[in-house]
Structure 1
């Protein structure tokens, strides 16, 4: 009960303060219109309009914080800091989606704030008026007596007490029931007007995820290059040194050493196999040629030594995250290998372009087609690598050919 009365008083304060602010907000549309129209008067509006919108943002934010406090919600700030220069300020105001919400809120605040405020003023004002007027019924002239409950005149202390209590109780009950609901409705409408819609929130979240993904790709690329460098300059160099020492030891042993010679031979061959496997791992993870020549140079070298004649169409791709470069290189390398081993192709065309925030890799061969991912043709490996970067992949390979692999990789950074 006590909490309910507290909500009633909080709602009353909220609505009674919202009534004059809603009436003051009625001046905003004509003021904004005047600021726009004044652009033809020596360009005064070019300066006034952005400042007027910045002032409207502060006015709307004050109401937004009041509404959030009433509903017990947390809201993030929506600051508007105007830049330098008239063109920058106008573009800043017009491109900001919050500007449209501010304008929308103006009309919503007027339409809901004035009626809700008047209703609260009527309920609370009637209670306050009755409390003070009923004991002073005798001050009213006989021909214009105090009337309570709308129609009943007060002619004595008995009627003043009875009618006064009835009117105070009735309007207090009405305020108890209606004011919190009106205040909550107005506050929720205020937040709905100034908060992003579900679509806007989704778009903002997608933008944040794209931005964070770009950071992750850059960090991943740097880590790939570091690991490749450590393996190439550290682990691989040590394996080479070990293999050389084992080879020298084998040459230095007499022919009749028996088991010791076999052990050295096995150790030597194992070290060389480990080096071969390590080179394969390095090439799969981040081919060293990418670090040396970049993606375009690496692809040119890859197609030049391909077992199938390959034509390339490579655009200027700009800066790409290392993970995207490695994935594109792997797509082309695996596609060329498939064309040489499985398709019977005599010609392959590789085309790589960049459209906005995506890198497009297309590999087409004139082979027999009929690619089946379940037969281990390497398409599954390509698809997994592309999917790890949130990319897309389309394979078109009807029986009789041709086979076309189209891959899209996000590359915003």
Structure 2
């Protein structure tokens, strides 16, 4: 076994032991919390538990959400707001299917999680304990020497090497193989207990599809209204003016031929302006730069035109569906516009990469932060565009900045 392989095994074992330590601490917390919840449920009979039980359930939810986040397979449900009435708050918490899964997971984690976590963490520390015991054999009194294996006393360096080396090798093997196995067992148990049922997954998927469908319909309606408004206020007005100019030129042709030239000149200028507005309108529906270049090339052009100094980090994207290209393109464009217009940023960056069948774009600026939906920053429109292609948009914008907008879209063909 070479050094890099050994380092990999030790690193994996260390991560597993760290998780085991977290499981043990979480299990000890549940050892206290589970009896407290049971006692609070009994107090509900006299009314006091209606005030005490909801905070305990929310604390249990935080512990379960931490485990869900670590497992990385299910999104943590949002925190439940505290209602004005204790009974309504309790009913709201208890009616959540995730609460039932939390209550199923808590006693098992309190018992088995604590034991598994402690064993996994101790196994990783076992080689160090053996070294300390064998190396400090001389600290123990002569009539009570240390014994670490097969009950053989260690009363000198010879016996320390004879007994300590095999014991240390065995402890290293246990430390390398034990914690990953125990961590895997604990993770599998938590995953099984916290996993939603197939019916719940289907219901959540249907709800998400219904929400994104509604968002897509609203986004489509907003886009149609915008196109109609642009055509009515811009292009249609230009064409009406053009018709009037041509009508005046037609009347002047018989009585004042000299006035026809200026009228035709204004009519030609109006035609050019109408064509320019039509081109801008078509560009807003599907940017020609996406047809001329790929998404990476189009975003490079957007970054180059950004009023704020911006850097682009673009990876290999492969083939991306057209609807995903449009959603990501407009999301990045809107985010950079917000950085220059609202955030007063001094610099920005765009990172675009693909991992498997997921396209991920991250837009960061060093502005003043505080971006939120509903404040005229276009985030609601960005979210509707992204969710219309089954994507996810996340916004992190604490006051003072920085602002990080992440867009993840599935792009499987």
TM-score by length of 2: 0.48
Larger-gyration structure (1/2): 1
TM-score by length of 1: 0.48
